């Protein structure tokens, strides 16, 4: 099966899928949908007809295009169960999903370009206001995750291998650094990020490695 991913190299939700596919060694074709404010390909008619939600990522499977990275991660796990991205024990699975959803549901959506544009153009926020908003939602999420999951006895957050928790964490740390959010209050999260970035799958999935030439 050839997997087509509608991707944008700087999109952190797309980055999640790239990590999962590389961890499992599944070959995929990445089709860039340029989210840059000067181009906004995701809002153009071609992509809109494939994904009316006008967001990336989306995948093409059996002739259908389907969005939502967290649902796609579960589909990837079900389709290619080797090198699992969910722990085996139900309680550990619950914790890994809860960790991932803290980022995917409670942090990332509030920092999306469409939300930042609403703040800027509908509510008149200036750049400082937007930067504070952006950093604040990351800090709220990371503080909770550091407090709840900061001490562990395993190599990674929920076992000896990265799971969906790290798959969501690493792109969010990338975003934090990109927007100059200080991460020094979250030493365990930063440590996990560093460990992940030693792995080839995370390196291959990184925005820099995925940027079209």
List residues near ligand GSH by CB under 6 A. 11-13, 35, 42, 55-57, 67-70, 104, 112-114
CB of 194 to ligand GSH, least distance (A): 23
Q: Six-digit token pair at 155? A: 């190599």
CB of 42 to ligand GSH, least distance (A): 6
* Residue with smaller CB distance to ligand GSH, 101 or 146: 101
* Residue with smaller CB distance to ligand GSH, 12 or 163: 12
CB of 92 to ligand GSH, least distance (A): 22
Supply the DSSP string of 112-130, one letter for each residue.
SHHHHHIIIIIS---HHHH
Q: Six-digit token pair at 199? A: 């792995």
* Residues counted in the chain: 213
* Residue with smaller CB distance to ligand GSH, 18 or 159: 18
Q: Dihedral of CA 106/108/110/111: which sign?
A: positive
Q: Six-digit token pair at 33? A: 């949908």
Region at 15 (left for phi over 0; alpha for psi -120 to 50; beta for the rest): alpha
* Virtual torsion, Cα 119, 125, 126, 128, nearest 10 deg: -80
* Residue with smaller CB distance to ligand GSH, 14 or 87: 14
Q: What are phi and psi of 15, to 5 degrees?
A: -55, -40
CB of 196 to ligand GSH, least distance (A): 19
* Residue with smaller CB distance to ligand GSH, 54 or 159: 54
Pairing of strands 28-32, 3-7: parallel
* Residue with smaller CB distance to ligand GSH, 110 or 144: 110
Helix (H, G, I), strand (E, B) or coil at 160: coil
CB of 153 to ligand GSH, least distance (A): 30
CB 199 within 8 A of CB 161: no
CB of 95 to ligand GSH, least distance (A): 20
């Amino acid at each position: 099966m050839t997997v087509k991913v509608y991707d944008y190299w700087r999109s952190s939700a797309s980055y999640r899928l790239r990590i999962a596919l590389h961890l499992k060694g599944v070959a995929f074709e990445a089709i860039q949908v340029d989210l840059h404010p000067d181009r906004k390909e995701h809002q153009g008619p071609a992509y809109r007809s494939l994904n009316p939600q006008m967001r990336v990522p989306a995948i093409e499977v059996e002739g259908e295009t389907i969005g939502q990275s967290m649902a796609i991660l579960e589909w990837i796990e079900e389709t290619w169960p080797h090198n699992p991205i969910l722990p085996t024990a139900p309680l550990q699975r619950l914790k890994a999903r809860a960790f991932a959803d803290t980022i995917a549901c409670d942090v990332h959506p509030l920092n999306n370009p469409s939300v930042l544009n609403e703040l800027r153009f509908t509510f008149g926020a200036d750049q400082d206001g937007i930067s504070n908003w952006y950093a604040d939602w990351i800090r709220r999420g990371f503080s909770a995750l550091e407090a709840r999951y900061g001490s562990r006895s395993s190599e990674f957050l929920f076992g000896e291998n990265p799971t969906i928790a790290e798959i969501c964490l690493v792109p969010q740390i990338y975003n934090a650094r990109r927007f100059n959010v200080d991460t020094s209050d979250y030493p365990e999260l930063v440590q996990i990020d560093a460990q992940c970035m030693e792995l080839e799958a995370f390196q291959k999935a990184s925005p820099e490695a995925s940027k079209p030439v």
